[in-house]
Homo-oligomer: A and B are copies of this chain.
């Protein structure tokens, strides 16, 4: 079983999962798997409990009850190529180890993120950080792309010119745009990775980083299928109700009748509402 799992992860090792137009993320190394989570949990419980739980049940129990330390015993290392504006959001997760391409040591390549016109979207009018569901007309989409490409070309020309003049690399690059591609190695334990995936696969995350997070979710699923399943069931697809909401639900249940109490349970879901 453990062997079969390892096979699965080995299949995708080093495989580039394409993201955006020129980016990718790939798993370059990993340590441990579902069996390491179980092993670590069992040292806490001692030998006595070994027979009580099968691996899957134990992992689900740990996830459900937020016993997070056993999930820290698995480590994954990724190599990613990504635009700077994505990197700036990503780096905010401080629990990872990072080595990034440096624009002070190296000459940056002429590689910039160009969106597909279908990915150009309007600002939501109700959600300050979100995208609107209204479709952007093809023409505007194409105009946006064209503005992007021209700006990137100009900046890169100027960058090259300044390098030719001998300007310090760290200075010559300061007018390069956030759509420039960089790359890094990024290493993290499973517990913190799942937290990253929760936040960055969420629809409140910017669509471009979501693309990477979803690719990494696919990779993680291969490395720790049981842990990932538990994560989906108890975290990703769970719903949390506040004290007030819990009270409302209790009243509903006690009366055994929902119709006159609430029009739509969906209105209780945290994501759909403003501050209560």
Contacts and interface: CB of A to CB of B under 8 A. Distances in A.
Interface in A61-83: 61, 64-65, 69-70, 72-73, 75, 77, 79, 83
Given A61-B275, A73-B185, A165-B140, A44 B174 contact: no
A1 interface: no
A215 interface: no
Contacts of A88: 84, 88, 91
Contacts of A244: 233
Contact of A129 (B102, B140, B185): B102
B243 A101 contact: no
Contact of A174 (B46, B107, B178, B245): B178
A115 B256 CA distance: 46
Given A99-B70, A100-B43, A276 B60 contact: yes
A276 to B, nearest CB: 7
A177 interface: yes
Interface string A175-204: 111110001110101000000000000001
Nearest to A122: B166
Given A48-B107, A178-B174, A252 B241 contact: no
Contacts of A264: 253
Nearest to A259: B256
Nearest to A130: B168
Interface in A199-246: 204, 206, 232-234, 236-246
A246 B238 contact: yes
Contact of A176 (B115, B170, B177, B265): B177
Given A162-B144, A167-B144, A237-B243, A77 B73 contact: yes
A148 interface: yes
A230 B58 CA distance: 32
Interface of A: 29-32, 36, 39-41, 43-49, 53, 57-58, 60-61, 64-65, 69-70, 72-73, 75, 77, 79, 83-85, 88, 91-92, 94-95, 97-107, 113, 115, 120-124, 128-132, 136, 140, 143-144, 147-148, 151-152, 154-155, 158, 161-163, 165-171, 173-179, 183-185, 187, 189, 204, 206, 232-234, 236-246, 249-250, 252-253, 256-259, 262, 264-265, 270, 274-276
Given A41-B99, A72-B187, 17 more contacts: A30-B31, A31-B77, A36-B77, A69-B98, A73-B99, A73-B185, A73-B187, A84-B88, A94-B95, A105-B129, A121-B171, A123-B166, A155-B155, A173-B178, A237-B242, A239-B241, A256-B258
